[in-house]
Every structure is written in C-alpha cells, then in structure tokens.
Amino acid sequence: MTHSSQRFMSRAVNFICLISAALMALISINSLAASIDAPPPPDIAARGYLLMDHSSGHIIASEKADERMEPASLTKMLTTYIVLNELKSGKIKMQDDVLISEKAWRMPGSRTFVEVGKKVPLETLLKGLIVQSGNDATVALAEYVAGSEDVFANLMNQTASALGLNASNFVNSTGLPHADHFTTATDMATLARALIQDFPEHYSWYSIKEFTYNGITQYNRNKLLWQDDKVDGIKTGHTESAGFCLVASAKSDDMRLISVVLGAKSENGRARESQKLLNYGFRFFETHRLYAPNESLTDVRVWKGSQEQLKLGLNKEMWITIPRGQYDNLDAAMKVTPQITAPVNKGKQYGMVEVSLNGQPVATQPLVALDDVAEGGLFDRLKDEALLLFE
C-alpha cells in the first residue's frame, strides 16, 4: 500500500469514527430526553396551592391542596355559578330589576355602591360582583335568586355537592369570615373548571379590567390581567384571616391552566406566586386531546344480536397532560369485555381505554357502546349458541 493510500484509509477510518461518535451522541441525547421528567415546581409562598390543566383535569402541582382553608371572596365564584345557572334555565333574566335591601346596602368590605331601596338591573349587579367583588351587589343577587342569603347558602351547598366540592361548606354568598365557611384549593380549582366549561359565554366577564357604577370607577383586583396577556380570569379574595387569595386562569395556544393560591402574604404576592405556577405549567407541560366523543375506536363481536358488530368508543373526549416532549412515548391499550351478548344499550360500558407514558398509567376512560343492538331472532340466537360452544 502506498503512502498516499495509507493516508486516505486513515482519514476514512477517522471520518467513520467521527460519524459513529456523533450518532451515538445523538442516540444518547434522544434517550436522555425521553427519560427526563419535568423539574419540581417552584417554591410557592402561600398556605396552599394547586395548578390544574383545565381540559384534562390533571393536577400538575399542589401543596396542602386538600387542607381546609378560608376562601374569602373566592366564594363569589360559586355565587356567580348559581346566578348564571338560573339565567341559563330562564328563571331570571339579565334585564330584571333587583330591589336593593338594607342588608345588601349595609354590607361591609368591597362595594359596588348600590343604594338601598333602588332597583338595579341584574346585569349591572353581576358585573359589580365579578369585576369589583362588591359584597353589596353579591348579597342583592343572592336575595333575588333565593329570597334570602340564608336560603341561598343552602343552595350553594347543594350546588357544591353536585359539582363535587366535597371538602367545602358555605354559610354566606360573599366569603366574609365564619367558622363554618371553608374550602380547599382542590375544590376551588374544580369550581373554576366548571365555571369555565359550563358558562363560556359569560366567562369573558372575568377579564374586564374596570367597571363604573353610580359614577364610581373601580378596577379588577386581579393584577395578572395587566401583567400577562394569557390570563383572562378569575377571582381574587382577601380577609385578615384568609390572607390574599387568587384563582387565576390563562390560555396559551390550546392549553388552559387554572392556578389556585390560598393565603399569600400580600396582593402583589398572590399575583407573583400565581404567575410562577402558570409559567411553570406552560413551560414544562403540554396537553393533547387523544380521542373525540362518540368516535369509533374498535368494532367487537356481539353474540345473539340483530347484528354481529358493535362499535365501542368514549362518551366524552379524552385529554391528557404530560411533560413536554413525551408525546411519542405514549401507549394506548383497550381492554374489552369478553363475550358481549345482546341486547346492548348505547352508553353501557364494555371495557376501558388505558393510556400510559413510559410504562406508567396517565389516563383511563370507559369504553362504551356507541349504538343499541337488539336481541336477534330465534335462528340468530340458536346459531350463536352453537358457535359459542367452540369459543
């Protein structure tokens, strides 16, 4: 071999080694990326907190989220939910004139400055509740809906139970301190999620930055509305005993997050700690819709029915929230009930969809029948009975 040939072979070997090293490094990097989970959440200066994805309901981060705490004016989210539900049912209307009682007029704390004995449009009171957190407007609405605030409090607890707020109790519509008036960060996130889902046409009111009534302009106390364009709600709260509280929601692309901060030390503090949670969620997590409702995911055999095939799917859409960059590591499996026999009722469960990430379960949802299947005729039943002997 000539000297030049040796040089060529040496360079070729070196080049191949470089390429191999680069490929091994790339494989190593990809393998590392696949195994990296999100870092732990930031330290939050509050008595309790929670960060939830709105679509999936997945809790991304929390601390003392199920400990009983005072909600202060976060209570008004439930008052609003009830008023909006009454509007949706047609029992009351935005144009209704609401008579302001002396009790409503005398309410301490934040105010809309309504006047006793005057009639105020329900829409005005609702904006006073949402934007200004007016205790007077809140009590006026409670009395209009239920006749008295005491009866309204009963309605609040019934509604809370229906929404799954299992660790809360309410004795007034405003959140003024009371030994039997309490909630948890988990319940407040659940309530916020329901408010956004059930009344999307009115949720935008929570992003209103100011409201003027009776010649007095007041500003929304949610500082994040001015600091972060992604934030569009929801509610602040403060009493001496509850500290400074904030339930915030923000949307980036198709991902909406809900943060709950209870018992922060200052108005700026609740905004700062909420912003930290939202930034953390958007930076390190992503949410995907895997399956639509009533979409056929598999066909299965039905025995002794008027037809042999049954479509199975989900009765509600399936969302998952996972660390960013992990989507390709998801696995989905279906466990179907063996030997399905007619009659079949639409909506009945016949298995489960199970989604896992790197071998760890992240979501499950029932597989249900998407159609009815009636019992077959005598010949079909006898034929399938015979076939089943060989199954």
* d(C-alpha 45, C-alpha 262), whole Å: 9
Catalytic: which of 56, 73, 101, 110? 73
Structure tokens that stand for 5 in this block: 């040939």
Lookup: tokens for 15: 């080049």
State both tokens at 117. 């004995």
Residue 166: count other Cβ atoms within 10 Å of its Cβ: 12
For residues 290 and 283, the answer to whether their CB atoms sit within 8 Å is no
Quote the DSSP letter at residue 349: E
Q: What CA–CA distance (Å, rounded) separates 225 from 289?
A: 28
Token pair in block for residue 301: 């055999």
Q: Tell me the sheet residues that pair with 256.
A: 251
Closest C-alpha to 188, from 52, 56, 320: 52
Pick the catalytic residue from 55, 62, 76, 223.
76
Distance CA 135, CA 260 (A): 21
CA-based R_g, the chain, Å: 29
73 is catalytic: yes
Give me the count of residues in the chain.
391
Query: Position of tokens 């997945």?
Result: 58
Which of 62, 133, 259, 274 is labelled catalytic?
A: 133
String of DSSP letters for 136-160? HHHHHHHHHHHSSHHHHHHHHHHHH
> Active-site residue numbers?
73, 76, 133
